[in-house]
Amino acid sequence: MPIDLLAKFSVTQKTSPEDGIELFEKFIAGDEPVLLSYKHSRDRVVFTNRKIIAMDAQGITGKKKSFCIFPYSKISSFSVETAGTFDLDSDLKIWVSGVGVFGVKLGKKIDISAIGKLLSEHVK
């Protein structure tokens, strides 16, 4: 049975692709650039040209980290919900084969259309 990861991650600001790259280097190939990067306090979500990597820092110190890695080839569909008048956050939901739904809540300052475009280009 797939694991439901919905609403597990939340990001509030866009960062440069180089920001925090040392956290993800062990999961990124040499010819795989980070295209988009987002964070919220200690948690991060990055989009490369091959996959999505989400990092959840756990515990009081944040030394324990959990990484979820979703290759675009395993994504069957996605949905984008833009911010509204009263709900200022946007929502991204991604259906991953064998995993279930991966959800990211995006803060009001993040342009979700950039993520939608990237996924449209990479999800086949």
The tens-digit pLDDT sequence of the chain (124 residues) is: 455 554 467 888 999 999 989 999 999 999 999 999 999 888 899 999 999 999 988 877 778 888 989 999 999 999 998 876 666 788 899 999 888 888 888 888 888 899 999 999 999 8
Q: What is the pTM of this model?
A: 0.87
Q: Which domains does the chain have, with CATH numbers?
A: 5-122 (2.30.29.50)
| Tokens linked to 38 | 């987002």
Please, which residues have CB within 8 angstroms of residue 50's CB and are 6 or more apart in sequence? 29, 32, 71, 72, 122
